[in-house]
Amino acid sequence: MIPKIKGTQDFLDLGLLQFVIKQTSDHLNLHNFNQIELPILESADLFKRTVGTETDIVNKEMFIIEPRVGSNETICLRPEATAQTMRAFLEHNIQVLPWKVFSYGAMFRYERPQRGRYRQFQQCNIEIISTDDINQDVLLIGMLDSLFSTKLQITNYALSLNFLGCPEDRINFREKLTNFLQANLEICETCQKRATTNPLRIFDCKNETCQKIYVTAPKIVDHLCEECNVEWKQLQNHLELLGVSFAIKPDLVRGLDYYNKTVFEFTSPDLGAQSSFCGGGRYELATQLGHKTAVPSIGAAFGMDRILIILETIQDRLPIKPKPALTVILPLEPKYNMLALLVAQNLSQHTITNDIILEDSSIKSKMRKANKLGPIHCVLIGENEQATNSVTLKNMVTGNERLVKQTKLVEALKG
Ligand code: HAM
């Protein structure tokens, strides 16, 4: 027995996942987002240049594929979809702007697996590429909020919001934060390292002593330039006018380095330690990928695996499409198998979901097999049925049996 790889999952019943995908796709289409599909394999450099070499995702969690002999290209399994969506935008020279797209797919991060955290997980990724209008941020966050609350009927969640300012704001803030950190020598070793490489990330630290110290740390929203301050106020004001509830979280910085200005996260207490099920923000990646001009953008991604965990407890209340009623065809002996195949072909042509018991065994064992499939009707075919061009139609709920002409079977089942 070779078991599945650590941190991966098998999905054997797709009912809930298909519900989430259908509701999400309908909702995004309604807002004029187009679905795209991008490769699982990408150049590792793409993520080094965008997500950042100081982030856990790039530093510790990448699934790298050994370069082939004679090749100097390092390929990886994608850890996220924003950088590659930007890559696709530039590579295809998209002209209808802003480019509003979404995609579903597997992402890979070598993390320590636990409930809600996997090494292969699925995301729905949404981007609005090439727009610097703060109202696009309002639109995206409002659209996600209505998707979660109305379409997916998640009741127990919170939205946290922060504003990281423009790159100049962050350079100025970095200095203030570094001064603060230098005056607080009790911070942990990781934070001391981050204080020099990437000070904003100290806010992600789970160490209790560090967290206590950071309560009094300077907050970036108090050090924004005039333009950013106007945008930050407008973002809050317009979300309130749309009826979107949020909490300002000054220490929300997110684990990817590409964000500026708006950052946000949706969390649910139903998820335990891995409470964030959707995260996103504003970014500019085009120049980092060698493009001459900046392409300001905003996007978000939510983890399908985490959404499924949240919905599992309420799935009985959700309008999940029931499986269609099943008809099982049961040839009583192998010599009636051909007739059974013809009956099955006819039922499929009339969109009646069906299955056939073709294995050669006793009638009792065939009946037991048929029962396990949970059919509403069974169609029995034996000597009498073949001789009279009919079948025996058995209602598995009432137990009633009747002889029906083969030409009238569809009518009888649909009736
Ligand atoms: P992220 O916060 O790294 O953002 O991931 C987004 C979501 O993916 C998380 O909120 C979580 O639901 C899910 N997720 C992440 N890691 C795992 C894991 N190991 N196991 C299960 N689920 C996980 C991004 O990926 C950004 N690209 C989002 C974005 C799009 N920003 C702008 N546009």
Q: How many CA atoms lie within 13 A of 49 on its CB side?
A: 17
**Per-residue pLDDT at 69:** 87
pLDDT digits (tens, 9 = 90+) for 82-116: 999 999 999 999 999 999 999 999 999 999 999 99
Residue 261 to residue 231: CA distance in whole angstroms: 9
Instruction: Reduce the DSSP state of residue 135 to 3 states and report it.
Output: helix
Q: How far is the CA of 224 from the centre of ligand 1 (A)?
A: 27
Q: What is the CA radius of gyration of the chain?
A: 28
Q: Span 6-34, mean pLDDT?
A: 97
Q: How confident is residue 279, by pLDDT bands cut at 50, 70 and 90?
A: very high
Q: Where are the beta strands (DSSP E) in 78-168?
A: 99-108, 120-129, 158-163
Pocket of ligand 1 (CB under 6 A): 80-82, 109, 111, 116-118, 121, 123, 125, 127, 255-256, 276-281, 299-303, 305-306
Domains and CATH numbers, the chain: 15-165+224-317 (3.30.930.10), 327-414 (3.40.50.800)
pLDDT digits (tens, 9 = 90+) for 40-59: 999 999 999 999 888 889 88
Q: What tokens were used for 68?
A: 């082939």
Residue 308 to residue 379: CA distance in whole angstroms: 37
Whether residue 293 contacts residue 312, with contact meaning beta carbons closer than 8 Å, is answered with no
Residue 185 has pLDDT above 80, yes or no: no
Q: Which of 145, 147, 128 is nearest to 28 (CA)?
A: 147
Count of CB atoms situated within 10 Å of the CB of 226: 7
Amino acid identity for residue 319 in this structure: P
Residue 368 to residue 366: CA distance in whole angstroms: 5
Q: What tokens were used for 366?
A: 């065939």
Q: How far is the CA of 252 from the centre of ligand 1 (A)?
A: 14
Q: Span 322-333, mean pLDDT?
A: 95
Q: How confident is residue 67, by pLDDT bands cut at 50, 70 and 90?
A: confident
**Per-residue pLDDT at 321:** 86
Probe target for ligand 1 pocket from 24, 80, 102, 253, with the most ligand atoms within 8 Å of CB: 80
Q: How confident is residue 197, by pLDDT bands cut at 50, 70 and 90?
A: confident
- Which carries the bigger pLDDT value, residue 169 or residue 182? 169
Q: How many CA atoms lie within 13 A of 292 on its CB side?
A: 0
Q: How far is the CA of 125 from the centre of ligand 1 (A)?
A: 9
Q: How far is the CA of 123 from the centre of ligand 1 (A)?
A: 7
Residue 75 has pLDDT above 90, yes or no: yes
Residue 387 to residue 139: CA distance in whole angstroms: 67
pLDDT digits (tens, 9 = 90+) for 129-138: 999 999 999 9
Probe target for ligand 1 pocket from 77, 121, 254, with the most ligand atoms within 8 Å of CB: 121
Q: Which of 161, 204, 178, 182 is nearest to 57 (CA)?
A: 204
Q: How confident is residue 198, by pLDDT bands cut at 50, 70 and 90?
A: confident
271 burial type by CB count under 10 A (0-12 exposed, 13-18 middle, 19+ buried): buried
Residue 31 to residue 252: CA distance in whole angstroms: 28
Query: What percent of the chain shows pLDDT beyond 90?
Result: 83
